[in-house]
Structure 1
Amino acid sequence: MADSHNVFISHKGGDDKQVQNLKARLKAQGYDVRNFSVDSTNHKDGRRPSDAVIARLLRMRVSWSSTFICLIGPDTHTSKYVNDEIKYAHDLGKKIVGMYTYGSANDVELPEAFKKYGGTPLGWNSVDKLGDAIEGKNMPAENADGSTRGPIYNVTRVKCQK
C-alpha cells in the first residue's frame, strides 16, 4: 500500500464533505491517494470558476487519474458534470468504480453514464474493496448492503437470421 495512486472522485457539488470523508477513510486504511477531482476546497478565495474553466479542469484531471471513482448520492444523477466525467473516463479507458455515499445505497438513482459504463457500486463501508480496485486487484460484485453478489444466470440467447 505504499505506492501513491492518482484518483478522480466524481460527485455532485453538495457532496464535497463526503469526498473529504472518503479521502480521510482511505488514508486511515493506509492508502496513499492523490485526488484530482474539483471540489469547493480547490476554489481560491471561495470563488467558483466559470463553467468553461471547470469543464477544462475536469477533462485534464480525469486524464491524470488512474482510477475514476463516482461517489453516488441522492442527487448525483442530476449533476451537470458527472455523466460527462464518466463518459470521458470511459473514453480514456479508465477504471470506473462507483461508491454510494453514507446511507444512500438503497434509495438513489444511478447516473445514466454509470449505468452504461460502470460496474456494481460499492457500499460506503467497502473502503477495503475500493482500495483493492485502486491498486488494480479484482473486485467481486456486491449487493447494495455490501454482501458479495453471486453470478447472474438469466442470460437469453437469440439466434440472428442472415
Structure 2
Amino acid sequence: MKKSKNVFISHYGKEDKKVQRLKERFAEKGYSIRNYSVDSTKHTRKKRPSDELIKRFLRRQISWSSSLICMIGPKTHTRDWVNYEIKAAHRQGKKIVGIYTHGNNDNVPLPEAFKKYGGSVIGWNSIDKLMDIMNDKKFPVESPEGSSRTSMYSVSDSNC
C-alpha cells in the first residue's frame, strides 16, 4: 500500500531538477507524492502574469497541499517567492518543513520566512524522516547545526 501526500515544494526556480529528484526519491521509498508547486514539468514559458495573479495561484496551490516542503539550497534564502510561499502556507495553517538540497547541510542560510514560521529542517537523505514529520510525528524545531530553536509565529503578518 502506497503512502500518499499532497505537498507544495517551495524551491529556487533554477533547481527544478532537484525537485524532480526529490519526487523520484519519494517514489523509490514507496511514497506517492502529488506536488502542487510550479516546476518546469508543468508549464511552458508565456508572458509573465502579474504578481497578484501569481500570488492567487500560489495560495490556491498551497491550499490543496497538506504540507509545504522548502528545498533549502545556496540561493533559496534570496528568493522573494519562496518567502511568500512559506508565509502563505503559515497563514493557511500548513505544516512547513525544510530539506537541504544534496551537499548543503549546515552551510546555507534559511529563508527569513522559514526562520519565523518553519518547523524541522532535515538532510537530503532523510526521506523517511520527512514523511514522519508530514504524518504528524513530533520532531523538534532545530537550527541547521542541530541546536534547538523556536519559531516566531505571527498571524498578523499581512504580506500574504
Question: Which TM-score band applies after superposition, normalised by the shorter structure?
Answer: 0.7 to 0.9
- Return the offset for 1:137: 2.3
Residue identity opposite 1:22 in structure 2: L
1:50 equivalent to 2:43? Answer no
2:147 and 2:112 mapped to 1: Cα distance?
24
Encode CA deviations 1:73-126: one digit per residue, 9 max, x unaligned.
000011120111111111111000000000111211100000011123100011
Mark the runs of 5 or more structure 2 residues left unpaired by the alignment: 150-160
Classify 1:2/1:59 alpha carbon distance in 2 versus 1 (closer, same or farther; 3 Å): same
* Identity of matched residues, %: 54
- In the superposition, the TM-score normalised over structure 1's length comes to 0.81
Larger of the two Rg values belongs to structure = 1
1:21 and 1:101 mapped to 2: Cα distance?
10
- Return the offset for 1:142: 6.3
The total of aligned residue pairs comes to 148
- In the superposition, the TM-score normalised over structure 2's length comes to 0.82
Encode CA deviations 1:55-90: one digit per residue, 9 max, x unaligned.
222111111100110000000011120111111111
1:131 equivalent to 2:131? Answer yes
Asked whether the 8 Å contact 1:129–1:139 carries over to 2, the reply is: no
Q: CA RMSD in A?
A: 2.2
Asked whether the 8 Å contact 1:97–1:121 carries over to 2, the reply is: yes
- Return the offset for 1:41: 1.5
Classify 1:96/1:48 alpha carbon distance in 2 versus 1 (closer, same or farther; 3 Å): farther
